[in-house]
Amino acid sequence: MNFFGTLLESLKLPRELHRRCAKILRTNWKSIVIAKRIVLPRRRFNHGVPAVILAAGQGTRLRNGNGGNLKPLTKIGSLTLLERDVGSCEEAGVEECLVVCGYGADRLVPHVREIDMRSKLSVRAILNPNWMEGNGTSVLAAQPYVSTPFLLLMCDHICDPEILRSLLSIDPSPATLLAIDRRIDEVFDLPDATKVQCNSNKILKIGKELGYFNAIDTGFFLCRHSLFDALRIARTQGDTSLSGGIRELSRVGKMKAMDIGVRCWLDVDTPESLVYAESLILSGLCPSFRNELVMKGA
């Protein structure tokens, strides 16, 4: 047995965790001093519920203000937006993240692979050749890779992991769940936010241009497979957006809302919202957001 094998055996890790530790060592042998901390989970995994992270769009507004960097690669502190999303999924107990790539995939896919090498969970890239048609096509691109309900996140929305845990804890139902925020007055850029009209936990309407609304779409979902059919119906009607699929689910009564209460989330898609997010996170005003590499936490 070689040096690394002896060290790994001394950690007495389960088979799967042993494999992940060996994966880390192949990349950086110095990680052995913290390897056990890197791979041991803090809480039980929610087996079989993957997360799909949409990262295929151009992100033009944010790129124009950050030197042309891809939106998922934009950093707040030491972490990219994508790393923060993966970290929140890991905190929520997710085993697998599927990152849908499109624009700038040649730069984004290597970052996805790097995160996978360092992460406790599996992180894989999915290519969406139709990304220019709308974000609904990115959700459809993930369909062959999911066979169960799944979390759905936007790469430029970051959150308190408790929001994802709450979505996963809701009793099973045929409805897709959207995490909503009723604190409308506290939204940073309200005109740009996707508005929601709810009756209790039932979503009636959704869109950026709603005249009457009583909640905001946070961009975090627990999705059922009926969403895929709804997206295809919306597409035949000329709407290739995710919101188009949500509207179709609302029409047939298969869309529900979950209020996030006082939990924190941020939409980072403009230079101004990036500055706002940095001020909140780096000052510690959002303590649920980490500032260190989440994949190397204790």
Same domain, 204 and 248: yes
**Per-residue pLDDT at 7 exceeds 50:** no
What pLDDT, in 10s, does the model give residues 152-195?
A: 999 999 999 999 999 999 876 789 999 999 999 999 999 999 99
* Predicted pLDDT of residue 282: 82
pLDDT at 142: 97
- Determine, yes or no, domain membership for 47: yes
Q: Is residue 29 domain-shared with residue 168, that is, in the same domain? A: no
Residue 294 within a domain: no
- The answer on pLDDT for 281 being more than 60 is yes
Digit-coded pLDDT (tens) for 220-272: 999 999 999 999 999 999 999 999 999 999 999 999 999 999 999 999 999 99
Q: Do residues 79 and 220 share a domain?
A: yes
**Do 267 and 243 reside in the same domain of the chain?**
yes
Q: Which runs of consecutive H residues, i.e. helices, occur in the chain?
A: 3-11, 15-27, 35-39, 60-63, 81-92, 105-118, 135-141, 161-169, 226-236, 242-251, 271-282
Do residues 222 and 118 both lie within one domain? yes
CATH code (residue 242):
3.90.550.10
Domain identity same for 194 and 69:
yes
Rounded to an integer, what is the distance from CA 289 to the centroid of its chain?
A: 14
Task: Mark whether 64 and 25 lie in a shared domain.
Answer: no
Query: Are 283 and 76 in contact, with CB atoms under 8 Å apart?
Result: no
295 inside domain: no
What pLDDT is stored for residue 62 in this prediction? 87
Top mean pLDDT of 43-52, 55-64, 238-247, 281-290 is at 238-247
Question: Do 221 and 265 have their domain in common?
Answer: yes
Q: Which of 44-48, 176-180, 276-280 has the lowest mean pLDDT?
A: 44-48
Whether residues 101 and 8 fall in one domain: no
Instruction: Clarify whether residues 187 and 226 are in a common domain.
Output: yes
Name the residue with tokens 């403009």. 270
Instruction: Name the packing angle between helices 15-27 and 105-118 (round to 10°).
Output: 120
Among 137, 140, 150, which Cα is nearest to 222's? 150
Is residue 197 over pLDDT 70? yes
Range of the domain at 22: 1-40
As for how many domains the chain has, the answer is 2
For residue 85, tell me if it sits in a domain. yes
Q: What confidence score (pLDDT) does residue 61 get?
A: 87
The answer to the question of residue 298 being in a domain is no
Residue appearing with tokens 């519920």: 49
Which residue's structure tokens are 């790469």? 155
Q: Would you state the pLDDT for residue 27?
A: 37
In this prediction, residue 291 carries a pLDDT of: 55
Dist CA 47 CA 124 (whole Å): 17
297 within some domain: no
